[in-house]
Homo-oligomer: A and B are copies of this chain.
Amino acid sequence: MIKIAVLGYGTIGSGVVEVLETNREHITQTAGQEIEVKYVLDLRDFPGDPIQEKIVHDYEIIKNDPEIQIVVEAMGGVEPAYTFVKGALLEGKHVATSNKALVAKHGAELLEIAKEREINFLFEASVGGGIPIIRPLVTSLTADIVEEITGILNGTTNYMLTKMSTEGSDYNEVLKDAQAKGYAEADPTADVEGYDACRKIAILTSLVCGKTVDFEEIHTEGISKITPEDIAYAKAMGRSIKLLATSRGDGNGYYAMVAPFMLGEDHPLNNVNGVFNAIFVHGNMLGDAMFYGSGAGKLPTASAVAADIVDIAKHLKRNIMITYSAEKMNLLDYKQAEYAYFVRTTDSEEQVKAVFDNPALIKIKEVTGETAFVTAKMKEETYLEKAKQLSGIKQMIRVD
């Protein structure tokens, strides 16, 4: 029997307890032995909940109990999660976490401590919720040079964009709806401005290139400026608008970015709707692959954490993840990456044509009094230079 402690009895923490309980017999079989939750750390009490007898308010109890072999961190945020996780690893306890903020900020250091001590620091649930992506990247896509990894990594914004597309409603309406349904938080900034997706693509890029990507260096745009008019144009073009978190390599390094993109019908991510997430990977030998599933939610995310617990149970004496080092990965300037650009401006067609060669003009009956067009593919730097010559640009969305 392996005894574990769960830090935080919120959505994910209580989900982990539920998964371990519901699938007890199956997990005992896959893990090779029984997994028992000995403690749950939370500031609150849960009178009436069977978990109450396991609740502790003092982390030291967990840290100092030699019976605890695995600590599950499900608190979120950098502190005190970082202090607790580092403390657990230094005590020789394995850690599984769903905490993207922690991994994006301190992943390399925590991996290094785990490696030194021949224990494990696993974080499958930190990206893509229940979708297996970190383990496949590290253990399955090992013979490929990953030339692109692009994900729809935030369920809240994907739900909102899908709803804007199916119902024609505007950003503020769908935000209220998402908040009412519990998909968006009262302060939705981290989701809608792309900060959540930014941390996740930083983690994926670090895994792909073997060094640490600083998430603060990733150019990040959210969806708050997307309007029903943009969606109408996209539909007329047979495209969807998705918030992508993307890294592309060109042999010299990676361009990383979080921003809304217009995707064509053939793009594997085009049909990923609602709260679902998906990660598209292009390997130089594999070609295109995609991993799709529930990117958030209590049980899917908890299922990924529980799978990490099982993996740890099978490797109690052995470090299994070869991942990324603390060495910094310098990203390439995103303005050197090439896209086509969808642009809406109050400038006239003639003015547009004087600046951009052969712009593909888009006219839809829903919107008048402006010029909308798609440029040829060019470096963003080039686009920005040209765009300076127009005075009325009100929207630019990259086209992939």
- Which of A's residues lie within 8 Å of B, judged by CB? 19-20, 22-23, 26-27, 29-31, 124, 130-132, 135-136, 139-145, 210, 268, 271, 276, 283-294, 297, 299-300, 302-304, 306-307, 309-311, 314, 322
Cα A302 to Cα B30 in complex, Å, equals: 29
Which residues of B have CB within 8 Å of A19?
143, 285
With A23-B285, A271-B271 as contacts: A140 and B135 at CB distance below 8 Å: yes
Distance to closest chain B CB from A201 (angstroms): 20
Cα A141 to Cα B136 in complex, Å, equals: 11
Q: Do A130 and B293 have beta carbons less than 8 Å apart?
A: no
With A142-B30, A291-B291 as contacts: A286 and B299 at CB distance below 8 Å: yes
**Which of chain B's residues has its CB closest to A280's CB?**
B292
Q: Do A27 and B136 have beta carbons less than 8 Å apart?
A: no
Counted per complex, copies of this chain come to 2
Which residues of B have CB within 8 Å of A314?
322
Q: Can you report 5 A-B residue pairs in the complex whose CB atoms are below 8 A from each other?
A: A139-B311, A142-B306, A288-B294, A289-B293, A291-B292
Cα A294 to Cα B142 in complex, Å, equals: 16
**Which of chain B's residues has its CB closest to A16's CB?**
B143
Point out which of A23, A26, A144, A291 has the most chain B C-beta atoms below 10 A from its C-beta: A144
- Indicate which residue in B131, B284, B307, B310 contacts A22 across the interface (CB closer than 8 Å): B284
Cα A291 to Cα B132 in complex, Å, equals: 9
Distance to closest chain B CB from A313 (angstroms): 9
Q: Do B309 and A143 have beta carbons less than 8 Å apart?
A: yes
Q: Do B302 and A285 have beta carbons less than 8 Å apart?
A: yes
With A30-B322, A132-B136, A136-B135 as contacts: A142 and B311 at CB distance below 8 Å: yes
Cα A30 to Cα B271 in complex, Å, equals: 33
With A23-B143, A142-B311, A144-B303 as contacts: A293 and B285 at CB distance below 8 Å: no
Which residues of B have CB within 8 Å of A287?
130, 293-294, 297, 299-300
Q: Do B271 and A300 have beta carbons less than 8 Å apart?
A: no
Q: Do B144 and A140 have beta carbons less than 8 Å apart?
A: no
Q: Do A292 and B294 have beta carbons less than 8 Å apart?
A: no
Cα A286 to Cα B288 in complex, Å, equals: 24
Cα A27 to Cα B131 in complex, Å, equals: 25
- Indicate which residue in B276, B289, B306 contacts A130 across the interface (CB closer than 8 Å): B289
Q: Do A136 and B145 have beta carbons less than 8 Å apart?
A: no
**Which of chain B's residues has its CB closest to A310's CB?**
B142
Cα A314 to Cα B334 in complex, Å, equals: 35
Q: Do A145 and B23 have beta carbons less than 8 Å apart?
A: yes
Q: Do B142 and A31 have beta carbons less than 8 Å apart?
A: yes
Cα A304 to Cα B23 in complex, Å, equals: 31
Q: Do A143 and B306 have beta carbons less than 8 Å apart?
A: yes
Q: Do A294 and B289 have beta carbons less than 8 Å apart?
A: yes
- Indicate which residue in B210, B286, B307 contacts A303 across the interface (CB closer than 8 Å): B286
